[in-house]
Chain A
Amino acid sequence: MGRTKSSGRIRNHMRRLRFETGEMTQAELAELIGVTRQTVVAIEGDKYAPSLEVAFRIATVFDVPLDSVFEYDPEG
């Protein structure tokens, strides 16, 4: 079994998805997914990896699969 690198990073396309969804604001998205606007800012800036539950809520709001919102970058 191969070793997995632990230095990977989760990146996201939330900014683009917000823009494509009628230029939704960070505050509006925060309200819909039940977190603070600062948390949306942190997620978009790759400063916070949300829980699976919040990740699924984000995907549901944009009506896209989860891997269209988040992607794992093994190189970090």
Chain B
Amino acid sequence: MASFLNLFNGFSYKEKSILISLLAVSGLYGGYFLDMIQDPVDASLAAMLRSMVGIVIALVVVHVVFHIVISLDDVDEAADERDRAVARRASVVGFNVLFLAVLLVTGRIIILGAWAESEAPLDAPGGLPGLFEIANLLLAGLVLSDVAYYAAQLYFYRRGLRD
């Protein structure tokens, strides 16, 4: 594990910490969605709730373990104005992704809903989205916005904030 993190020796503690969050969120939620797409055997809200509890616990464990590992080499300095500027700028990126995701999910519900209500001779493709699908689409939006937030932070730390 330590040798893997040695790959990121040029990174500060904060950059490593963000990278851990990025990989943990992408990996754990990515696995969940991949499983959901490839093998949607138990497509129920109860199963989703169980998965979410498992993912949250796994996220906490991964964060604690990897932060202990990076603390062996680096010191977490208090955030300064640059850290706050990077977080602010990355928040805008994350917000835009979340906004787009909510817009798309809302659009899907309204358009398919209107189609189903109309007297169109054809059924709406895929039918009306159920609660399980809506919950997963919104969750995917949240995860994507989180991933965009972490990725944008890393980008701004590496590329710099000049304007």
Question: Which residues of A line the B interface, CB within 8 A?
Answer: 9, 34-39, 42, 45-51, 54
Of the four ranges (under 10, 10 to 19, 20 to 34, 35 or more), the interface on chain B belongs to 10 to 19
The interface residues of chain A, by DSSP majority, are classed as loop
| Residues of B8-32 contacting chain A, CB below 8 A | 12, 14
Q: Which residues of B contact A39 (CB under 8 A)?
A: 80-83
3 A-B pairs with the lowest CB-CB distances in the bound complex, closest first: A47-B160, A35-B80, A39-B82
- Please tell me if B162 contacts chain A, counting CB pairs below 8 Å: yes
Residues of the B chain whose Cβ atoms lie less than 8 Å from the Cβ of A36: 12, 77-78, 80, 82-83
Tally of A-B Cβ pairs under 8 angstroms: 42
Q: Return B13 CB to nearest CB of chain A, in Å.
A: 9
Binding site for A on B (CB under 8 A): 12, 14, 77-78, 80-83, 85, 159-163
- Chain B residues lying within 8 Å of A37, measured Cβ to Cβ, are 77
A38-B12, A39-B82, A54-B81 provided; 15 other pairs, C-beta below 8 A?
A9-B162, A36-B12, A36-B80, A36-B82, A38-B14, A38-B77, A38-B82, A39-B83, A42-B160, A42-B161, A47-B159, A48-B82, A48-B85, A48-B161, A51-B81
When C-beta atoms are compared, the residue in chain B nearest to A9 turns out to be B162
Closest to B12 in A: A38
Q: How far is the CB of B19 from chain A (nearest CB, A)?
A: 15
Asked if A34 and B80 make an inter-chain contact with CB atoms under 8 angstroms apart, the answer reads yes
> In the complex the two chains form, is B81's CB within 8 Å of A45's CB?
no
Q: A44 vs B163: C-alpha distance in the bound complex, in angstroms?
A: 15
CB–CB B81/A49 < 8 A: no
Q: Please tell me which one of the listed residues B12, B14, B162 contacts residue A48 in the complex, with CB atoms under 8 A apart.
A: B162
CB nearest to A10 among chain B residues:
B162
**Is the CB–CB distance between A49 and B161 below 8 Å?**
yes
Shortest Cβ gap from A37 to chain B (Å): 8
Chain A residues whose C-beta falls within 8 Å of the C-beta of B85 in the assembled complex: 48
- In the assembled complex, how far is the CB of residue A1 from the closest CB belonging to chain B, in whole angstroms? 22
**Could you pull out 26 A-B pairs where Cβ atoms are within 8 angstroms?**
A9-B162, A35-B82, A36-B78, A36-B83, A37-B77, A38-B12, A38-B77, A38-B82, A39-B80, A39-B81, A39-B82, A39-B83, A42-B82, A42-B160, A42-B161, A46-B160, A47-B159, A47-B160, A47-B162, A48-B85, A48-B160, A48-B162, A49-B161, A49-B162, A51-B81, A54-B81
